[in-house]
Structure 1
């Protein structure tokens, strides 16, 4: 909980440096392209066309085939994210609450873009501050790069003046049907009254 407060407390500093605007620019273009790929049958439109393997926050291997048969939500983030990621996680928790019993019919994952710091144990500790149905995924830098490419997600390491670094990345949430086909995307800060119906349609 202390870490979550520290992360949320850095939101004002993040805005001062303009990182939120940078993420927003990436977000809009990438999510729109992913939606357009639905009509072409591209790999980014269907989980069954992806090829990657990651490790969840319990140390178990996970690949796209594991998600087939049940609706899924996934977004990319990292545990030291000061604004967009904790906000998205709180939004997702709110959406799950709005779904009621149907919330148990969808899997939810955060894939880290910072595998050097986000081990399975760190992800588990961080996500314990949010809805317990949200699981974390990590892997080697090459594994993360392969997964991000499959989803059409961009990310980059951004050095800070104190010698540390942060990550700039595509935000937004991808929603997949049980068949693995992309159902919709949910933009950053999209209201519950719009997000929940999108998720219900994916669940079926």
Structure 2
């Protein structure tokens, strides 16, 4: 009898420890919201916040208009991927966030993006606010001085995919295979 009581007490203790361990693990690995709150302006000079990244599938690319290769290539490809998806991707909204807001005013962004697509919305704003947003989205950015007195920007070249809650869904790498990129966007459109 005493042995049965002892086994019962040990079983209850083991279950309790297991439950507490599970709760601790869940808290440590709870899904945290991706990115940070922000308040910037779009290419029309209208206020835009993190709310724009919610409510449907979103694609976000950080770059700058004076970029010689990576940014124009990515924007051109992104427009092509969205066109290829046709109605399947009609709910995907795409954003191009300038990491060089000193040169990329809303007017500059509007003109620049007009060369690529009417489906990509430009975002810019005060340099400190843009820097905080980029950091909050884990985007690498570094200003590089040039010998001629000008500068360029080093930055993360991946396209971010966000689900309907604005949470991280994946990336598309620079110069990723077209079929792979379209498949990722198709999955985003279905899941989000």
TM class, shorter-length: 0.7 to 0.9
Describe how 1:66-81 pairs up with structure 2 within 5 A.
66-81=52-67
Aligned mates of 2:54, 2:176 — CA distance in 1 = 26
The number of aligned residues is 162
1:40 to partner: Cα distance: 5.4
Paired residue for 2:90? 104
* Structure 1 residue 41 corresponds to structure 2 residue 27: no
Paired residue for 2:20? none
Aligned mates of 1:143, 1:184 — CA distance in 2 = 24
1:168 to partner: Cα distance: 0.8
Displaced runs of 4 or more, over 6 A: none
Query: What secondary structure, in the 3-state scheme, does the structure 2 residue paired with 1:111 have?
Result: strand
Look at both structures and tell me which one has the larger radius of gyration over its CA atoms.
2
Unaligned 5+ runs, structure 1: 1-38
Aligned mates of 1:100, 1:200 — CA distance in 2 = 10
Note the aligned Cα RMSD (angstroms). Answer: 1.3
Paired residue for 1:92? 78
Describe how 1:20-169 pairs up with structure 2 within 5 A.
41-43=31-33, 46=34, 50-169=36-155
Paired residue for 1:36? none
Q: Indicate conservation of the 8 Å contact 2:54/2:164, yes or no.
A: yes
Greater helix content: 1
Paired residue for 2:163? 177
Aligned mates of 1:195, 1:145 — CA distance in 2 = 27
Query: What secondary structure, in the 3-state scheme, does the structure 1 residue paired with 2:133 have?
Result: helix
Q: Indicate conservation of the 8 Å contact 2:89/2:185, yes or no.
A: no
